[in-house]
Structure 1
Amino acid sequence: MAVLIAIAALLLARSRRELARRNQVLAASLKSAEELARSAEELARSADQRRLTADSQAQDAAAREAGLRDEVRHLRSVRLPSLALHLISSHLPVPGLLHEDLAGSEGAELVDSVIEVVTGIVLKERRRVDAAARAALRGSSQDSQALSYRLQTEIEALQNEFSAPRRLTERLLATDHLNEQNLRLIQRTAIVCGAWPGHVRKDTYVAEVVQGASSRLRGFDRVKINSRLGSSDIGVVGRAAEPIAVVCAELMANALEHSRDDLAVEVSLIQTGNGSVCITIDDAGMGMTSEALARGVRLTSGEQQEVMLTELGDPPSQGFAAIGRLVADYGFHVSIDHPSPYGGVRAVVSVPPNLLTSIDQEAEPPSAMAPMPTVAPQVAKRPAPAAQAAQDAQADWDAGPTAPTAAGAAPELPQRRRRAATAPTTASAATATTPPPYRAPDPERERDIWTAFQEGHASGRSDTNSEGEL
């Protein structure tokens, strides 16, 4: 019995120890659960705090974004236009930031840096454009100034040559030619800058337009013009005569400048089947590079309305730019091709029918380069009896009969006899009203006539002065 009690007590003690151990494990588990719960609560509170912080940061970012967007709009619509005015007139201020609270921030620094960068770019571009404009004016003024000096020399020489009319005439012609070259340079610059050609002409023969254009050039004697027009009355309307003359002058000047002085420049005038007139200019120079040819085609096409002065080089090459502006304004066409049949460059000016006209040759004499009119052969006709009687009477009146003289005696002077008045016959009236055959103007003949007139005038003045001295 005692053994059983002892065993029962032992088992009870063991059960108590096991229960205590389990209670300890359970207590530890509860404590761990409480700690986990507290950790979860802390994590939840931290997550809430982070969420609130994120929301606040998002709101701040949205506010900064909106402020930066407003600053960009302010920069575009207010500050940059004000900056452009400020660079022109420094007394005009440039506004600052729209939101002063952004001062010192990275966005404000970026916006201000845009102002600085744009200012630098504008000033640099202004200096570049100004340099290009100075180069253009410098090149044009140098050429014009050189011609003006030559013109002044000619005028000073004229003051000492009044005693030699022929030399005076030659000097006047040389002075006039220098003035024509100077006017061409000034006119070209004005056209490039947007001005009109500055000269109004009436309807002019095509050949005279080309001949007048060549007379403006130094070395015009190297230009050989060959007119193969089908009709001699083809002319250019007045509003396009001077522009076409300017274009032909520039193309011929380019041909003369890029070929040797002993080489001729061939110019041909041809009428095409569609009614246009083509003016072909060929030189035998060295030609053009592919880059220069592409640039010339682009400038003379007339498609590029605004030509930057910086594209013209230094010294500026204004000829092609002037041609392109006139092509765009008046509607004719210019093409440049390399090589020409002579190895140089071929330029063709195509004048459309709407810029051509037919000139009345009775009201306006034909061009000096027009073909001579065909004169009908003259057929000798027997004069009418009345006309024969008038001729006999005229012969009697002019000479009169001479009486027979003795051998060795001096012949008597012819005696005039009064003749009866005769009415003019139809044949004589027709002869009197027949106009003389047309004679083309000859510059050399006109110069000789004018020189002879001046010499006679000077001789008469010297004779008058010598008589006055006596």
Structure 2
Amino acid sequence: MTSNPEAAFAVLGATTVAGAAAAAALARSRVVLSRRCAALTRQIAEQNEELATLRARERAQFEELSHLVNNRLPAAALHLISDHHPVPDGLLSDDSDFATQAQAAHDLFVETLIGERGRIDSAARAALRGACTAIQAQSFRLQTLIDELQRDCRDPEVVKEYFRIDQLNEQVLRLVQKAAIVSGSWPGLVRPDTHLPDVVAGATSRLNGFERIQVHTKLLVGGVGIVGRAAEPVAVACTELMANALESSRGDLAVEVTLLQTDNGNVCIQIDDAGKGMTRESVARGTRLVSGENAGKLLLTELGDPPALGFAAIGQLVADHGFHVSVDQVSPYGGVRAVLAVPKHLLTTIDEQAEPPSAMAALPAPAPRTPVPPAAAVPGEGLRDVSAPSPRDASGLPQRRRRSGSSRGRSLTRTARPVDPDEAGAAWGDFEQAVAAGRDATDSENKDKS
């Protein structure tokens, strides 16, 4: 066999070229594969990052939903009852769709709750109004019957019991009356034009502890009255203010009621107590209630348990009749000063000769006198004993003494005075004789008319 070097070299060259081409192709494929691996790695990293973001968003949305259900909605329900319960904000601070939908769900819950509470409150008001109207009618009938029994009775002991029953019926009627007013009803009683002192005296007689109330009048003219449509509302408001003063002070402290005429033509009923006063929150709440701004919008559930109806009833009457009430002042004794201002359009003038005021009404203030220079002090003569009998005028009525300036800062504590049985018996005997004389006079007038 003959060797062919040229053929061998040719074959070897071809093999070398083929190997080089294969190596180049393999290198190119490795580069492509490496690029693909890098791209896949980046894609996997991006997908992992996106997945982590989605998981974090899902976790945040779940926490927001849990916060809405467990915290925000219960707090919103409590906030409707009292402002002391704040509503927390949402956990999501962005403007995402989920945060917007969560806030929309919260607002819808509050709106639905308000509507449902209003519907329930309207039903409760209607039921309370119907019950109070029926009880008021029966109480007025009972009062008429008691008045007839008092006029017909001749036994003084039985008359005393009738007076006690009448007082209890007045207290029951007052409680029912203010509940009826808060529920949207009217006071239930129509009066003619009434003397202002008579209105205050009638308001005083409705209270337990009325003997602690001292009424003073500083009206400059006589015959000051309140028009009939506002007489009973003013009496109800005055009763509730005096009741608050009695309840806010001790049982041995007096409540001072003063009737004043202002320069702008209004008449004010000023009530001062010597209690502990009200807190800042109580003053703010009381001012809001008696202003009448929320009349008709106040829910029964907002008045507490048991509901405090006094200030709410005053606010309703203020909104309906146009007088003004304030409870944000401090009395000279550190308690509360409540002022009921009756504007000019609710005042009238009543002829005292044709229609004299009641004997229970406060006497008008004496006319101002010319000041007398003080006399020289007499040795051994000190301050007058306040327990000494008051000086009396020609009619036998006691006159009020002017107190010294140092007595202004004294408390309103009454000093207990031992009761004289003979004096008490004589006073009650005079009262019985007056009642009998009035009854006989009424009977004789009725006979003359018949």
Q: Please give the TM-score of this superposition, normalised by the length of structure 1.
A: 0.51
Task: State the match for 1:197 in structure 2.
Answer: 187
Task: State the match for 1:353 in structure 2.
Answer: 344
2:157 maps to 1:172:
no
Q: Compared with structure 1, are the counterparts of its residues 164 and 351 closer, same or farther at alpha carbon in structure 2 (3 Å cutoff)?
A: closer
Give 1:151-166 correspondences, 5 Å limit: 165-166=155-156
Task: State the match for 1:344 in structure 2.
Answer: 335
Unpaired runs of 5+ in structure 2? Answer: 41-97, 368-396, 398-427, 443-450
How far the C-alpha of 1:16 sits from its partner, in A, is: 4.6
CA contact (8 A) 2:220 2:365 kept: no
Q: 1:26 aligns with which of 21, 24, 45?
A: 21
2:12 maps to 1:17:
yes
Task: State the match for 1:304 in structure 2.
Answer: 294
For 1:49-105, what per-residue CA distance to the aligned partner results, in whole angstroms no more than 9, with x for missing partners? xxxxxxxxxxxxxxxxxxxxxxxxxxxxxxxxxxxxxxxxxxxxxxxxxxxxxxxxx
For 1:162-181, what per-residue CA distance to the aligned partner results, in whole angstroms no more than 9, with x for missing partners? 98522233233222222211
Moved over 6 A (4+): 31-41, 443-446, 453-457
How far the C-alpha of 1:28 sits from its partner, in A, is: 5.9
CA contact (8 A) 2:218 2:364 kept: no
Q: 1:450 aligns with which of 435, 438, 450?
A: 435
CA contact (8 A) 1:327 1:333 kept: yes
CA contact (8 A) 1:232 1:370 kept: no
2:260 maps to 1:260:
no
Q: Please give the TM-score of this superposition, normalised by the length of structure 2.
A: 0.53
Unpaired runs of 5+ in structure 1? Answer: 1-5, 47-106, 375-439, 458-470
Q: Compared with structure 1, are the counterparts of its residues 267 and 453 closer, same or farther at alpha carbon in structure 2 (3 Å cutoff)?
A: closer
Q: Equivalents in 2 of 1:38, 1:236: separation in Å?
A: 105
2:328 maps to 1:331:
no
Give 1:31-430 correspondences, 5 Å limit: 165-305=155-295, 306-337=297-328, 339-361=330-352, 363-366=354-357, 369=362, 371=364
CA contact (8 A) 2:217 2:365 kept: no
Q: Equivalents in 2 of 1:283, 1:289: separation in Å?
A: 15
Q: Report the secondary structure of 1:266's partner residue.
A: strand
Q: Report the secondary structure of 2:260's partner residue.
A: strand
For 1:204-230, what per-residue CA distance to the aligned partner results, in whole angstroms no more than 9, with x for missing partners? 222211111111111212211111112
CA contact (8 A) 2:218 2:259 kept: yes
Q: Equivalents in 2 of 1:358, 1:332: separation in Å?
A: 18
How far the C-alpha of 1:237 sits from its partner, in A, is: 1.9
Q: Equivalents in 1 of 2:196, 2:440: separation in Å?
A: 36
C-alpha RMSD of the superposition: 5.0
Q: Compared with structure 1, are the counterparts of its residues 271 and 367 closer, same or farther at alpha carbon in structure 2 (3 Å cutoff)?
A: farther
Report the identity percentage: 51
CA contact (8 A) 1:280 1:349 kept: yes
How far the C-alpha of 1:33 sits from its partner, in A, is: 7.0
CA contact (8 A) 2:225 2:350 kept: yes
Q: Compared with structure 1, are the counterparts of its residues 363 and 265 closer, same or farther at alpha carbon in structure 2 (3 Å cutoff)?
A: same
Q: Compared with structure 1, are the counterparts of its residues 319 and 367 closer, same or farther at alpha carbon in structure 2 (3 Å cutoff)?
A: same
Q: Equivalents in 2 of 1:453, 1:332: separation in Å?
A: 37
**Residue type at the aligned position of 1:25:** A
Aligned length: 296
